[in-house]
Amino acid sequence: MASSLDDLPRHDVRMDGVYFVRAQAGGAFAKALEPGNFSYCFMVRRGRVRLESDFPLSTSLVLGPGDAVAVSGLAPHLFRSLEPAPPAAAIGRFDQRPMTAPDPGGELDLVLGVAPSEALALGSLVMGPTFVGRDQHPDLSRRLWRAVEMLEDEYADDAEIDRNLVIRRLAETMAINFSRRTFSDRLAPREAPQEPPHPRLIQSINAFLRAPDRPWTLADLAKAAGMSRTRFAEEFKLVTGQTPARIISRLRLAAIARRIASTPLSVEAAAEEAGYSSSAAFVRAFQREFGETPARWRRRRTPREDRPARARTSSAPRQRKEAP
């Protein structure tokens, strides 16, 4: 049993390829971050926005100035204006600009960090969105925004030695502070710290996502995590609040949902890949989980500029170059 949170491997975070941009939006909108193996840090400088996430549990958060949230690109999610967008409006992407670009004004101003890391994305997927509020968690919020100030200094002078290394280390520090927020809720007052969920749970989720059509059993998942079935089930429920069978069912639907939104996959093919006996059963399960049919899901999550629907790749979101 670990004696301290600091002894755990989850603190050995390496975020190669991480970068930060400014982003903005205005008016009534519905936007999503690029889906895939990315872990995102979404921080609000100005304005207010609502985050809706469907995994591992249905979540709705209103973010205001000074608030931040970590979210996985593997989880279905939406960022909405508080003023509802028209029901038929397609999901778009945030307008991005370099960290050093002048503030153009506008209603919503953001700092967005992107870490193209499968392990981090899977960890964020299992844990769900991690919220750090300016008013609710003032110490953690202050540390995050201090790191942003240092990031802006690094981006302002690309002639600095080891500039990219410093950016990576600052991002890793921010990730640890998000991790502190996650596990602080799991520590009972006046008790010794509990051992947080075993990091090998992520190995099990990763194994499933690599072969989602396999008929996984509890024993298979536990073996992938290197745990007994009892230990695995206990740890899994501690992290997600759900049984492994329930989460695996949702993971399978979430994976299919991402493909429906990004490729011309038919409902019949999606039903077969998700292991349903008929298209009708699949549509009912999909609607129960995500509140809309697969067809409506695809229509509302295809950016206008991508219509007609075409296959999208899982490559990293395009990084804007810094202005000279």
Domain membership of residue 270 (yes or no) is yes
Query: How do beta strands 95-97 and 19-25 pair?
Result: antiparallel
The whole-number pLDDT of residue 312 equals: 38
- Name which of 130, 136, 104 is nearest 42 in CA terms: 130
As given in the structure block, the two tokens for residue 115 are: 């870490």
322 in any annotated domain: no
Q: Is the dihedral of CA 30, 135, 54, 122 positive or negative?
A: positive
pLDDT of residue 203: 78
Do both 46 and 165 map to the same domain?
yes
Q: Is 33 part of any domain?
A: yes
Instruction: Please give the pLDDT value at position 313.
Output: 38
Residue 106 lies in a domain: yes
Number of domains in the chain: 2
Q: Where are the alpha helices (DSSP H) in the chain?
A: 118-127, 138-156, 163-184, 201-210, 218-225, 229-240, 244-262, 267-273, 279-290, 294-300
- pTM of the predicted protein model: 0.68
Residue 190 within a domain? no
> Can you give the CATH number for the domain in which 236 is found?
1.10.10.60
Residue 34 belongs to domain spanning: 5-184
Exposed e or buried b per residue across 122-137, where buried means at least 16 C-beta atoms within 10 angstroms of its C-beta: bbbbbbbbbbbbbeeb
CB contact burial 230-241 (16+ within 10 A = b; e otherwise): eebbebbeebbe
Does residue 167 share a domain with residue 34? yes
Residue given tokens 């919503």 in the structure block:
108
As separate numbers, helices (DSSP H) first and strands (DSSP E) second, the chain gives 10, 10
Residues 15 and 63 in one domain: yes
Q: What is the pLDDT along the chain (324 residues), one digit of tens a residue?
A: 333 334 333 445 678 899 999 999 988 888 989 887 788 999 999 999 999 887 666 788 999 999 999 998 878 788 999 987 666 567 888 989 999 998 888 889 999 999 987 667 766 766 678 899 999 999 999 999 999 999 999 999 888 788 999 999 999 999 888 878 876 655 444 343 344 445 677 778 778 877 777 778 889 989 988 889 998 888 887 766 678 887 777 777 877 887 887 788 899 998 888 878 899 999 998 888 777 888 887 877 665 544 444 333 344 455 544 443
Query: Do 40 and 103 belong to one domain?
Result: yes
Q: How far apart are CA 147 and CA 108, in angstroms?
A: 21
